[in-house]
Amino acid sequence: MGAAEAKAAILANKTALGIEFGSTRIKAVLVDDKNQPIASGAHEWENRYENGVWTYSLEDIWTGIQDCYQDMAKDVKAKYDVELESVGAFGVSAMMHGYMPFNKEGELLVPFRTWRNNITGEASEKLMELFNYNIPQRWSIAHLYQAILNGEEHVKDIDYIATLEAYVHWKLTGKRVLGIGDAAGMFPIDTTKADYNQEMVDKFDELVAPYGFSWKLRDIMPKALVAGEDAGVLTEEGAKLLDVTGKLKAGIPMCPPEGDAGTGMVATNSVAVRTGNVSAGTSVFAMIVLEKELSRPYKEIDMVTTPSGHLVAMAHSNNCTSDLNAWVNVFKEFAEAMGMEVDMNKLFGTLYNKALEGDPDCGGLLSYCYFSGEHMTGFEEGRPLFVRSPESKFNLANFMRTNLYTCLGAMRVGLNLLF
């Protein structure tokens, strides 16, 4: 599409805006009515490890999305000489899972506990036994029950529990809803009803009844929606929160907020039965759309859904590129120390291609890229490790090959079961 057609689409509101909170970048993409990208923006951010918890602050979230939106709006202005005031449709996606509990005043009761935390082992085991269903440590229900087991004071004051995108959508629309794909990362889903599994909801309420909380589980969880359902519109308050210049108008229809698994499935056209995809970044996961239920629960495999509610088996590893990127940055520092200018795309490409020259067994080198804990192999905290024996073939090709292999090693545990 040419600039004139793109400008016409923007002025006619024949556009859709998507904003995603990734682990290291917040991205905004504006597409036309043929789903062609016509403008984009980004904001770099990073999680923090504070008091034993991987987290992002609320300030990080809002300054990040505001900067990302402004970067995209500036791209529109630069390309088409248009001040962006509205779009045809809008949606938010983000890293799945985690724990954001709020009280009736809308205050966050504890710092956001992201998917990266491996601090809910006891709750995960007990809920898996109760439900006869795999409950990964990063799921919201595991975080909630672990907080109960820990005797945390805030639990009695909970009015709403959200994931990151459920929280952002709530603030932009006033609606407590969540796409079914990420709802499946909070609590098990009954795919025949496209809703939380009521039998398991009842079991959980019964489990925690002796604590005497004023809430029931459904009271504090977002409503699960499938793709295409009404998820509200951007409110006046939400428009001001997103666009600090005040140009953006309210009333834009919004789709159910979804997790990064859902966006990965849609982006790769892997939403039909017997299709699958791999998403590799700070974490890595493979998603296979199933024809039927697994024969039994496996701790190594999450059961989630497509945005339309079909069953998906996910093999997920907490660790992928963080340690690899750290090694590449060492090579960058070396090159700069030698007085060279470094093109990061060329550096990554050179090192990745060098790995193709390595031995099939990586020359006997071993690497474990556990920057954070790794639930797939039972590690609570991260300890990146590179080791070799005196007999190992220690060269650049083997070094890069083993660091690339370890990025996918833990995920392969789950894929072996599916194979």
Q: Both 260 and 191 in a single domain? A: yes
Q: Both 40 and 25 in a single domain? A: yes
> What's residue 1's pLDDT?
59
- Residue 316 DSSP class: E
Length of the chain: 419
Amino acid (one-letter) located at 394:
F
Closest CA to 124 of 98, 107, 145: 145
Task: Give domain status of residue 415, yes or no.
Answer: no
Q: Both 278 and 383 in a single domain? A: no
> What's residue 380's pLDDT?
86
Residue-by-residue DSSP string for 161-215: EE-HHHHHHHHHHS--EEEHHHHTTTS-EETTTTEE-HHHHHHHHHHHGGG--S-
CATH number, domain containing residue 336? 3.30.420.40
Q: Both 44 and 148 in a single domain? A: yes
Q: Both 298 and 329 in a single domain? A: no
> What's residue 116's pLDDT?
87
User: How far, in Å, CA of 20 to CA of 74, rounded?
Assistant: 18
Domain stop point among 297, 317, 337: 317
Which range of residues forms the domain containing residue 361?
321-410
User: How far, in Å, CA of 91 to CA of 173, rounded?
Assistant: 11
User: How far, in Å, CA of 75 to CA of 43, rounded?
Assistant: 13
Task: Please answer whether residues 301 and 294 qualify as being in contact, where contact means their C-beta atoms are separated by less than 8 angstroms.
Answer: yes
Torsions phi, psi of 410, nearest 5? Answer: -70, -40
Task: Give domain status of residue 177, yes or no.
Answer: yes
Q: Both 240 and 334 in a single domain? A: no
Task: Give domain status of residue 30, yes or no.
Answer: yes
pLDDT in tens, 272-290: 999 999 989 889 999 999 9
CA of residue 45 relative to chain centroid, distance: 14
The number of helix segments (H) and strand segments (E) in the chain equals: 13, 19
Task: Give domain status of residue 25, yes or no.
Answer: yes
Task: Give domain status of residue 307, yes or no.
Answer: yes
Q: Both 402 and 269 in a single domain? A: no
> What's residue 12's pLDDT?
95
Q: Both 312 and 325 in a single domain? A: no
Tally of structural domains, the chain: 2
Amino acid (one-letter) located at 230:
D
User: How far, in Å, CA of 173 to CA of 223, rounded?
Assistant: 14
Q: Both 363 and 305 in a single domain? A: no
User: How far, in Å, CA of 108 to CA of 191, rounded?
Assistant: 31
49: which 2 tokens? 């490890």
User: How far, in Å, CA of 154 to CA of 269, rounded?
Assistant: 41
Task: Give domain status of residue 417, yes or no.
Answer: no
CA torsion through residues 23, 383, 351, 344, sign: positive
Give the mean pLDDT per block of 10 residues along the chain (419 residues): 89 96 95 94 94 95 98 97 96 95 98 93 95 93 98 98 98 97 94 94 98 97 95 98 97 95 90 93 93 91 91 94 96 96 96 98 97 91 95 98 96 94
Task: Give domain status of residue 245, yes or no.
Answer: yes
User: How far, in Å, CA of 90 to CA of 159, rounded?
Assistant: 27
Torsions phi, psi of 141, nearest 5? Answer: -65, -30
Task: Please answer whether residues 19 and 92 qualify as being in contact, where contact means their C-beta atoms are separated by less than 8 angstroms.
Answer: yes
Amino acid (one-letter) located at 218:
R
Q: Both 270 and 403 in a single domain? A: no
Q: Which residues contact 409 (CB under 8 A, 6 or more apart)?
A: 317, 368, 369
Q: Both 248 and 293 in a single domain? A: yes
Domain stop point among 287, 317, 347: 317
Task: Give domain status of residue 416, yes or no.
Answer: no
Domain stop point among 317, 345, 365: 317
> What's residue 31's pLDDT?
97
> What's residue 2's pLDDT?
84
Q: Both 306 and 328 in a single domain? A: no
User: How far, in Å, CA of 29 to CA of 38, rounded?
Assistant: 8
